[in-house]
Structure 1
Amino acid sequence: MAENGAAEANGGQQAPQVKMNILGQYVRDLSFENVMAQKGGSGEVQPDVTVQVNLDAKKRSTEHQYEVVIKLNVSSKSKGSGDQLFLLEIEYAGIFHIEGVPEEQMHPFLLIECPRMLFPFLRRIVSDITRDGGYPPLNLDNIDFVQIYRNELARRQAEQANQTANA
């Protein structure tokens, strides 16, 4: 009975059913440099970790398939001296089969929902790499993909406004 009520509220139309499957996940690119070990440094240091996140999505040649990539740049420096401890760069990708998402909602869906699905796996990889690289495991905080998306939209709008003003 609830379904009929929802259909009547939408003017008798059923909302399209969204279908999403993760077809595959993989590390597209990975680099870890233990700078402190290369320099021969040792001892207790207080790390200062910075994380930069970039997202990319593109349609694949197969219908309804998209590739979404989370690019992380993790830098750790000593709080005291500012010396680089390690640098981790990783691109983690997922191949998604997506149906039922309206075209105007596809862009935010790809850059918000898909990265949310990939993030727990990426977090585990980062933890393992930093641990295997000689440091305590780095457990990344949750990433607010909605805020990243909004920031990118605001940046693009500001860029367009500057181009219009300079034209």
Structure 2
Amino acid sequence: MADEDQTTEDQTTPETPAPNGAAQPQQMPQMNILGQYIRDLSFENVAVQKGQVMEGQPDINVQVGLEAKKRSTEGQYEVAVKLNVTAKVKGGDTPVFAMELDYAGVFAISNVPENQMHPYLMIECPRMLFPFLRRIVSDVSRDGGFPPLNLENIDFVSLYRNELTRRAQAQAAEAPKV
């Protein structure tokens, strides 16, 4: 799984005029996944530890965090998806299990304008990692004695927009009032 190399196809768009008037082909963004790995994984089966038997469907709460940073090699970035999953007895506060997963990938990215790199890292890269992350969550929950937890697709565009809105509101709240 971690050794798979995924590459977007090399495509060009129609030629666009260069500043000097000569036509120049515009390159499509390219992404290679150089590696992916579990940075941290924790699964706690609270129900078994307390000698409880779970009945019915639990209430599942999934929290998602994203992190991206540039690596020392030119054009390489590390992107991590951090999941915090808790399951509680439906209608109660009794925890059944808790899982924390920090899953990262190393990407080689080219032909992405600098002003578009942040959204690209926070949307496209996690989108590529998600199927592998989903499989890990399913396997770990199943191996922990529960039915496999199949995560719903995550809308990384919406998640990114919500984070931008939250940051803008925090900045506005911190700005000095005149």
Q: In structure 1, what is the equivalent of residue 63 of structure 2?
A: 52
Q: Which moved more, 1:88-97 or 1:39-48?
A: 39-48
Unaligned segments of structure 2, at least 5 residues: 1-10, 18-22
Compute the RMSD of aligned alpha carbons: 1.8
Supply the distance in 1 between the matched residues of 2:168 and 2:54 (Cα, whole angstroms).
47
Structure 1 portions without partners, runs of 5+: none
Kept after mapping to 1: 8 A contact 2:85/2:99: yes
1:90 corresponds to: 101
Q: Secondary structure at the match of 1:14?
A: strand
Counterparts of 1:99 and 1:140, CA distance in 2: 30
Q: CA deviation at 1:43?
A: 4.6
Q: Which has the higher helix share?
A: 1
- Please list the CA deviations of residues 38-63 of structure 1 after superposition, one character each: whole Å capped at 9, or x if unmatched: 00011523200010000000000111
TM norm structure 2: 0.86
- Per the alignment, in what secondary structure is the counterpart of residue 13 of structure 1? strand
Matches for 1:153-164 after TM superposition, within 5 Å: 153-164=164-175
Identity between Structure 1 and Structure 2 (%): 61
Number of residue pairs matched by the alignment: 163
RCO higher in structure (CA 8 A, sep ≥6): 1
Alpha-carbon distance in structure 2 between the residues aligned to 1:88 and 1:49: 11
Looking at structure 2, the residues matched to 4 and 61 of structure 1 have their Cα atoms a distance apart, in angstroms, of 28
- Describe the SS at the equivalent of 1:127: helix
- Cα distance in structure 1, aligned partners of 2:145 and 2:74: 44
TM-score by length of 1: 0.92
Find the aligned partners of 1:23 and 1:157 in 2 and give their Cα distance.
33
TM superposition shift of 1:19: 1.7
Report the AA paired with residue 14 of structure 2.
A
Alignment partner, residue 6 of structure 1: 14
